Structures are given as structure tokens and as C-alpha cells.
């Protein structure tokens, strides 16, 4: 029958090795058999090379070794028995003391009895104090004696000793064991609460509320200003944390880790805040520099930040409706600063006088709806651009107050017309403008050419009998405002001076034929026509209307005029509708309106004798030194 392994001997061997410091082999029967087999194998190998005589000699020697091993084994068994008894005896020692490398509540309890351990704990309790460390670097030290901190006998320590495996004392003594026993001390929690409550860090003057992280605008962009944690404490949470630390025998407490501090609601890591800053930087990163007639104007983040809501804590919020309202207000303000169409503009005349002239066809006018759309896109895309506003109407240049260097100047005071092209005077002529009555004067204003055509019959108002009040032929017709225009006046032998006062046209600008021909070739629809009076004008009452029997009837003018110096009324109302027909050329502009009879409005009448002015109305010498009203010039055109 196979014998069991001597496991006890093997384990004992290790224990004894450590205790005695010698290498002892304890062999069981299997080991003996193995040794015999090994010896026999060696002998067989030896006998194969030896003679029969040598074989007999080695058998005798083998027998002697066998007896010697048996003897040694017997000795080892005896020694092992002695040492085993010693190991068991030493194990009994750990019934009363703790294994080496044992700590309880951070106190080294190696080979100490329960009573000794309790004495050590009691001694440590007498010197107990806890340091409470605050955020601002201040520390509150609470002495154990201040809160009646004392040690109480604890059966848990005795239970720890009973739990020791004394038969494994050797292995266990090599390990580090740390224990914490609870409720081995007691203290007055009320006193702890009083001390905590009275500490400086909990007094109102020493506490500051936390502040949320917020957006600020610096150096042309939005940034996140970090939150301020402050040092506002929750007394209840802090007291509970200190009590718990004392109960566990902890000697140092970091208040930051207790959760007693009030925390900001929004930190610099807040996703919503970060996203908002990114969005706003997309807006204020945009910069639009407007090129305007009056100069430049910039819209950037320094302006747009004022369109955001800012609370007492410095936090910015963007309300979309409010932001759009501010954009509309900005565009409206831009238009009010820029628009001139329909208002007046200052113009420096050839005489050097600055006159204020109403813009009729020419002027700046921002398309506010379209500009708002373009501006919104610029901002949403974070663009930095320099551009003009979106215009409904614009002048050809920003130079010379917007008139540029190419324009026609009609000085009605001096009865002279100038054509400046690229800053140079290329054409000029004396003229005769409208008679200075409320129904015939030439209105000041800034106009554009409607169209131009040649060889035109200008027809007056159609009378009840079907005839026209007049029919006048002109070779060059250049209307710029309804029935008002430039044309030649072959019936006149003189131009300029004061002729217009009593022998003026019905509002058109009469020119010598050669001058009209040259102007016809120069003028186009893009050239501003600036018409003005440099001095205050006084208009006489309207003339009676003509009837079919040649008699006149009184008619008050619909145009009420009270002009100040350098300025006339707005567009004169057209007198009775007049018509013109073309003999040869068609109009060169689409602005010309044609009827089935190919007729258009005109302010002209056929030449006729003008009434003789009364003595007090007789024209005096005009600016050019000429006098008007001669028999030869007494025509309406």
C-alpha cells in the first residue's frame, strides 16, 4: 500500500530552517525509495563497465550506505519532533500579543497585549488635536481637551487579538496589518459645534459669495472671465465634517474636500458659456467699414457689445430680437447720416458761393431692407469687410460733395450755364431761364437728363377749340424734369443778363443754337444738372391763362413760393399740359414718354410779344451790364 506524503515534515522543514538557521532535510519513505532507485541505477551503470569482482565489492558498500541513511533519518525525525514542539510552544505566545507589524488606529501594536495597546491609544488621545484647513490658508486647531476628547475601553481590540491565526504565526508576522477600531473615543459634539461656529471663517465679514464665470469684451473679442469661488461656508456641513473627522481620529481636515464651500453656478468650463462666447466672437469678430460720401463709418465689436444685455454680475446675454432691433436702428441711423435724395445738398458755385440745392433726381439713398440683410450676413459669417452700403440711389462720385468732377451748373442768378468734365470747364453759355412769375419761373434742384432728341415741335396747351396755345420748333431738345429742359431758342437774339425777369421762358433753359448743339453732344443721363439761384428771389403773381378767343382769364398759381437766399422751392408744378412732336430723331433715352401722336410735355410757348412792364417793374442793369426788355427781345422764349 502506498504511504502518504509527509506534508507536515515539509512544512516543518521551512519553519525550522528559519528558526534554527540550518538546512535540514526530512525524507519520507518515498524519498528513501527514490534514493535507493537512484543508487541502484548508478550501480548498474557502473557494473556494466566493471568486472564481477568489483560488482560484489560495491554491493557491500551499498549495504553500508543504506544502513547509514536509515540511521540519519532516525536522527532527523527526533530533531524535527523537538523543533515542532518548539514552534507550537512559540505559537502559544501570540494568544496574548499581536503579531509583529500590526498597527491599530495608526499605533504600532507589535507584540503588545490588549492592555498595552489600550494604554498606548489612551496616551495618544490625551495629545489629540485636529487641524481644520480653510481655502484662504487659515487653519482652525481644535484641541481634544477643548471638546472633552477621551478614550473608552473597546472590546474590538480584544476581538482583533482573538482573530489571529497563531499556528501561522511565522507567515503572519511577515505581513503588515493595519486596523482601525471605531467608537474607541468620545467627545462633546456640542462643544465642537460651538468652536466651529465661532471661528473667523464663518463670520459674515470674512465670507464672500462665489461669483459665476462670465463673458467680457477685451481687445476686440469676448473672453471668459473665470469664476470667483469666494469663501462662503455652510456651517452645518462644516460642523458635521469636523465631528466625523474627530470620531475617526483624523488629525487634519481639508475643508475644500468637505463640500462645505458654496460653489459658483457657472464655471469657466461651462459648455453653454463656452458656446455662447464662440457664437458672440463670430458676431463681434465681424467688422464692416463703410465707405460713405461723408467719410467712413465702422461697425465692430465695440459697438455691438452695447447691444447685449449685461447683468449686475457682468454676465452678457444675447437676445436675438433685441440684437436685430439694434441692427435695424444702426442701418436707419446710417441712412439718416448719408441719405440726401429728396433733401438738400451744399454746392459750391463757380462764383465761390456755397448754395443749398434740393436733390430731385440725384442724391444718396440707402436701401435699408437690403442693407440690413447684407449686414446681418456679414456679422453671422464673421467677415471683416470694407464696402459701400446697399443703395437705392447714389451719386456718381463721393468727390466734390458727391457731385464729382463732371456736372452741369446752371446759375440762374447770373443766367449762365457751365459744363465741367473731369474738373475742367469744357463748355459754357449765357442762357435765358423762366420768367419770374409763380407759374413760369425755373425751379432750382439737382436733376438728371431724361432723354435728348432733335428737330422737335414744342406744343403748348390744347385749347377748347382744338388748337394749341403755341407751337415752337427747336432743333435740340434735352428735358431733365417733366416739361423743363435745355433747348435752342432761335427767336432770341440775346441771352443772359436780366432778360429772364420780364421776357423769360416758361421754365426751360433757352440757349443759342450753336451752344445747344454742342451741349447736345456732351450731355448724357449720368451728368448731374445743378440749377440754383445765388440770391433771394421774389416771384410776381401768375399770368392770366389764354382762352380760345384770345382773352385772358385770371388764374392763381398752384405753386406757392417763398424761397430764401440761395434756395428756391421744390419742383415747380407743371403749367397747362403742353405737347411736342418729333419730325426726325427718336429720343435717345427710355425716359421719353411718347403717345400715339408722338407728343410729349414741354414748358415752351411760341414766340410772342411780351407785355410792357410798369414803370416800377422796369428791369435795371443786370449782372453782366446788359439791360433786357428791348423791342427785339420781347418774346416769351
If asked whether residues 19 and 82 sit together in one domain, one would say yes
Quick one: CA dihedral 25, 31, 37, 38, positive or negative? negative
Residue 335 lies in a domain: yes
Residue 480: exposed, middle, or buried by beta-carbon count in 10 A (0-12, 13-18, 19+)? buried
If asked whether residues 73 and 144 sit together in one domain, one would say no
If asked whether residues 335 and 365 sit together in one domain, one would say yes
pLDDT of residue 400: 78
Grid coordinates 492592555 are at which residue? Answer: 115
Residue 617 lies in a domain: yes
What are the backbone angles phi and psi of residue 525, rounded to the nearest 5°? Answer: -70, -10
If asked whether residues 141 and 192 sit together in one domain, one would say yes
Q: Which of 393, 418, 448 is the last residue of a domain?
A: 393
Residue 400 lies in a domain: no
The pairing of beta strand 309-310 with beta strand 344-348 = unpaired
Q: Which of 267, 300, 324 is the last residue of a domain?
A: 267
If asked whether residues 456 and 340 sit together in one domain, one would say no
H/E element, 44: helix 29-47
If asked whether residues 616 and 580 sit together in one domain, one would say yes
pLDDT of residue 507: 93
Interatomic CA distance for residues 62 and 36, integer angstroms: 9
Spatial CB neighbours of 298, under 8 Å, sequence gap ≥ 6 = 287, 288, 289, 290
How many domains are there within the chain? 4
Beta-bridged to residue 483, according to DSSP, are none
CB atoms within 10 A of CB 583: 12
User: What is the CATH number for 430?
Assistant: 2.40.440.10
Interatomic CA distance for residues 65 and 151, integer angstroms: 68
If asked whether residues 525 and 607 sit together in one domain, one would say yes
What counts of helices (H) and strands (E) characterise the chain? 14, 32
pLDDT of residue 219: 79
If asked whether residues 438 and 586 sit together in one domain, one would say yes
Residue 273 lies in a domain: no
If asked whether residues 379 and 526 sit together in one domain, one would say no
If asked whether residues 445 and 369 sit together in one domain, one would say no
Interatomic CA distance for residues 146 and 196, integer angstroms: 12
Q: What is the pLDDT of residues 94-110, one digit of tens each?
A: 888 998 999 987 889 99
Residue 502 lies in a domain: yes
Q: How far is CA 465 from the centre of its chain?
A: 75
Residue 303 lies in a domain: yes
Q: Are 334 and 290 in contact (CB under 8 A)?
A: yes
Interatomic CA distance for residues 636 and 191, integer angstroms: 117
pLDDT at 71 over 90: no
Residue span of the structural domain in which 354 resides: 285-393
Residue 1 lies in a domain: no
| DSSP-assigned states of every residue in 505-556 | BSSSEEE-HHHHHHHHHH--TTS-EEEE-SS---PBPPPPEE-TTS-EE---
pLDDT at 369 over 90: yes
pTM of the model: 0.50
If asked whether residues 20 and 73 sit together in one domain, one would say yes
Instruction: Give residue 458's pLDDT band: very low, low, confident or very high (50, 70, 90).
Output: confident
Q: What is the pLDDT of residues 466-476, one digit of tens each?
A: 898 888 899 99
Cell of residue 319, nine digits: 437676445
If asked whether residues 566 and 481 sit together in one domain, one would say yes
pLDDT at 163 over 60: yes
Q: What is the pLDDT of residues 123-161, one digit of tens each?
A: 877 788 999 999 988 999 999 999 999 888 777 888 888
Q: Which of 393, 423, 442 is the last residue of a domain?
A: 393
Percentage with pLDDT > 90 across the chain: 41
Amino acid at each position: 500500500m502506498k504511504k502518504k506524503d509527509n506534508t507536515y515534515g515539509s512544512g516543518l522543514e521551512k519553519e525550522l530552517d528559519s528558526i534554527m538557521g540550518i538546512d535540514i532535510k526530512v525524507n519520507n519513505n518515498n524519498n528513501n525509495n527514490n534514493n535507493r532507485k537512484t543508487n541502484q541505477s548508478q550501480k548498474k551503470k557502473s557494473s556494466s563497465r566493471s568486472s564481477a569482482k568489483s560488482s560484489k565489492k560495491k554491493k557491500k558498500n551499498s549495504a553500508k550506505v543504506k544502513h547509514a541513511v536509515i540511521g540519519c533519518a532516525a536522527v532527523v525525525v527526533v530533531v524535527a519532533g523537538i523543533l515542532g514542539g518548539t514552534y507550537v510552544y512559540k505559537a502559544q505566545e501570540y494568544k496574548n500579543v499581536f503579531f509583529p507589524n500590526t498597527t491599530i488606529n495608526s499605533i504600532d501594536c507589535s507584540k503588545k497585549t490588549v492592555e498595552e495597546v489600550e494604554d498606548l491609544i489612551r496616551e495618544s488621545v490625551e495629545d489629540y488635536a485636529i487641524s481644520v484647513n480653510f481655502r484662504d490658508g487659515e487653519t482652525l486647531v481644535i484641541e481634544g481637551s477643548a471638546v472633552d476628547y477621551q478614550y473608552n475601553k473597546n472590546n474590538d481590540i480584544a476581538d482583533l487579538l482573538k482573530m489571529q491565526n497563531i499556528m501561522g504565526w511565522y507567515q503572519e508576522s511577515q505581513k503588515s496589518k493595519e486596523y482601525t477600531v471605531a467608537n474607541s473615543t468620545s467627545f462633546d459634539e456640542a462643544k465642537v459645534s460651538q468652536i466651529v461656529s465661532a471661528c473667523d471663517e464663518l463670520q459674515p465679514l470674512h465670507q464672500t459669495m462665489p461669483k459665476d464665470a462670465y463673458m467680457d469684451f477685451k481687445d476686440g473679442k469676448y473672453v471668459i472671465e473665470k469664476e470667483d469661488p469666494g469663501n462662503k461656508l455652510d456651517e452645518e456641513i462644516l460642523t458635521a465634517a469636523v465631528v466625523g473627522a474627530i470620531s475617526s481620529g483624523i488629525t487634519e481636515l481639508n475643508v475644500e474636500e468637505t463640500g462645505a464651500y458654496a460653489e459658483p453656478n457657472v464655471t469657466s468650463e461651462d459648455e453653454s458659456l463656452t458656446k455662447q462666447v464662440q457664437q458672440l466672437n463670430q458676431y463681434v469678430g465681424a467688422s464692416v467699414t463703410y465707405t460713405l460720401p461723408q467719410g467712413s463709418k465702422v461697425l465692430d465689436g465695440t459697438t455691438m457689445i452695447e447691444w447685449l444685455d449685461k447683468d449686475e454680475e457682468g454676465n452678457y446675454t444675447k437676445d436675438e430680437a433685441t440684437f436685430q432691433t439694434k441692427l435695424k436702428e444702426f442701418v436707419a441711423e446710417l441712412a439718416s447720416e448719408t441719405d440726401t435724395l429728396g433733401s438738400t445738398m451744399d454746392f459750391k458755385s463757380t462764383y465761390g458761393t456755397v448754395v443749398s440745392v434740393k436733390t430731385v433726381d440725384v442724391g444718396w439713398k440707402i436701401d435699408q431692407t437690403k442693407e440690413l440683410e447684407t449686414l446681418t450676413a456679414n456679422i453671422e459669417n464673421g467677415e471683416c469687410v470694407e464696402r459701400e452700403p446697399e443703395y437705392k440711389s447714389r451719386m456718381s462720385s463721393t468727390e466734390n460733395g458727391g457731385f464729382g468732377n463732371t456736372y452741369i451748373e446752371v446759375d440762374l442768378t447770373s443766367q449762365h450755364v457751365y459744363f465741367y468734365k473731369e474738373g475742367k470747364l469744357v463748355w459754357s453759355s449765357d442762357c435765358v431761364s423762366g420768367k419770374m412769375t409763380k407759374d413760369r419761373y425755373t425751379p432750382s434742384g439737382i436733376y438728371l437728363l431724361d432723354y435728348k432728341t432733335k428737330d422737335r415741335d414744342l406744343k403748348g396747351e390744347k385749347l377748347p377749340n382744338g388748337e394749341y396755345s403755341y407751337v415752337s420748333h427747336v432743333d435740340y431738345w434735352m428735358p431733365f424734369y417733366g416739361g423743363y429742359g435745355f433747348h435752342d431758342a432761335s427767336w432770341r437774339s440775346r441771352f443772359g443778363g436780366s432778360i429772364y425777369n420780364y421776357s423769360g421762358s416758361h421754365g426751360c433753359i433757352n440757349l443759342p443754337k450753336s451752344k445747344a448743339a454742342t451741349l447736345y453732344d456732351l450731355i448724357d443721363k449720368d451728368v448731374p444738372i445743378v440749377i440754383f439761384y445765388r440770391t433771394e428771389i421774389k416771384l410776381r403773381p401768375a399770368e392770366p391763362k389764354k382762352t380760345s378767343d384770345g382773352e385772358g382769364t385770371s388764374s392763381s398759381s398752384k405753386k406757392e413760393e417763398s424761397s430764401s437766399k440761395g434756395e428756391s422751392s421744390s419742383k415747380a408744378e407743371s403749367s397747362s399740359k403742353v405737347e411736342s412732336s418729333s419730325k426726325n430723331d427718336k429720343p435717345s433715352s427710355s425716359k421719353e414718354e411718347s403717345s400715339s401722336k408722338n407728343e410729349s410735355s414741354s414748358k415752351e410757348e411760341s414766340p410772342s410779344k411780351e407785355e410792357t412792364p410798369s414803370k416800377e417793374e422796369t428791369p435795371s442793369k443786370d449782372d453782366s451790364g446788359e439791360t433786357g426788355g428791348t423791342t427785339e427781345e420781347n418774346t416769351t422764349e
